[in-house]
Amino acid sequence: SWTMDAFIDTEIQRIRTIVGPVGQVVGAVSGGVDSTVAAKLMHEAIGDRFHAILVDNGVMRLNECASVKKMLGDKMGINIEVVDASALFLGRLAGVTDPERKRKIIGNTFIEVFEAEAAKIDKKTGGGKIEYLLQGTLYPDVIESISFKGPSATIKTHHVSRGASNTNLMSHQNVGGLLEDMKLKLIEPLRELFKDEVRALGTLLGLDDELVWRHPFPGPGIAIRVLGEVTPSQVEIARLADHIYIEEIKRAGYYRQISQAYAALLPVKAVGVMGDARTYEQVIALRAVETKDFMTADVFASAEWFLTLKKISSRIINEVKGVNRVVYDISSKPPATIEWE
């Protein structure tokens, strides 16, 4: 549209003016629409002086890091560094079952790894030239963090902590160090936009539909979708089940109608039968919701969808070792939430 075209030009000019002719910028990317659109704008504005950092936290989806690196690096030409910190994250998550502790560990470790990588890049570029941190903050995030400091702090604290994505570093408590030690200033090109506007912007900037319409994925990733303790083998089960689920959703043409879908691994075992023998294995819960703002959500449901679910269920049980039962979560939000943890 006319206004979006104008927005792109104005924003690129604004970024160039702020960063100047030699300044360098760092930013976290995840492959999600917000951080990718922000990165694309920054790349258009300053090219290789923008450094994207992708942290592999060990709880991302199947092949996710490799495909994000391919898309942003090879396809879009963005300067991107992938840091494999999966062993560090999984080590710190060992033995932890409380969902809020999982979130804290992942958030804090993320800041630590990101800061170390940013310092490395700073050294490589001569030292002291990285002055800015790119953030894909949207207008609703801005509102949320303002009300976070307001009178309804108790409700909002919970809300903000659940909403703390990895790339939105400001939503983490320990980000102060990053901004103070490295003296980074924030650049937030999307801070006046709503989600649908960011999608339109992404399309105008030439990003693939696949990316523009991607379902949101929480910062703590699969760690909050493996209920109870997060071990590498549990992550593997949840990851594979989720991959099959999303693949079948896309194949059946439901991806755009569903706002968010994922598979969770429940911390229970159930009895099953295979041939003459009994099995005693784990349960996968499938979730699919329709929502406008993620504050309330409806279960995605129809007779045809149920038939697709039956097919997905048998694929998961046949292909994912350790799973002998699949259930579909039919709760709305509220009172249930979208995630199980």
- State the residues that interact with ligand XMP by CB under 6 A: 103, 162-165, 216, 218-220, 260, 294, 333, 337-339
- CB of 209: closest distance to ligand XMP in angstroms? 20
E strands, 57-99, in order: 80-84
- CB of 216: closest distance to ligand XMP in angstroms? 4
Helix (H) or strand (E) run with residue 54 in it: strand 50-56
Q: Which is nearer to ligand XMP, 241 or 317 (CB)?
A: 241
First to last CA, the chain: 40
Binding residues for ATP: 30-36
Binding residues: 30-36
C-beta atoms surrounding 234 within 10 Å: 20
- CB of 214: closest distance to ligand XMP in angstroms? 12
- CB of 257: closest distance to ligand XMP in angstroms? 16
Backbone angles phi, psi at 282, to 5 degrees: -85, 170
87: three-class secondary structure by DSSP:
helix
Q: Which is nearer to ligand XMP, 269 or 333 (CB)?
A: 333
Report whether 243 contacts 203 (CB < 8 A).
no
Rg of the chain over all Cα atoms, to the nearest angstrom: 21
Q: List the beta bridge partners of residue 55.
A: 83
Which residues does 194 contact at the CB level (< 8 Å), separation at least 6?
138, 139, 140
- CB of 95: closest distance to ligand XMP in angstroms? 20
Task: Report residue 156 as tokens.
Answer: 């909002």
- CB of 167: closest distance to ligand XMP in angstroms? 9
Q: Which is nearer to ligand XMP, 112 or 339 (CB)?
A: 339
Q: Which is nearer to ligand XMP, 194 or 306 (CB)?
A: 194
Of residues 30, 17, 22, 100, the one with CA closest to residue 59: 30
Q: Could you check whether the bond before residue 334 is cis, i.e. omega within 30 degrees of 0?
A: yes
Q: Which is nearer to ligand XMP, 128 or 267 (CB)?
A: 267
Q: Which is nearer to ligand XMP, 291 or 308 (CB)?
A: 291
Q: Compute the distance between CA of residue 164 and CA of residue 244 in angstroms, rounded to an integer.
A: 27
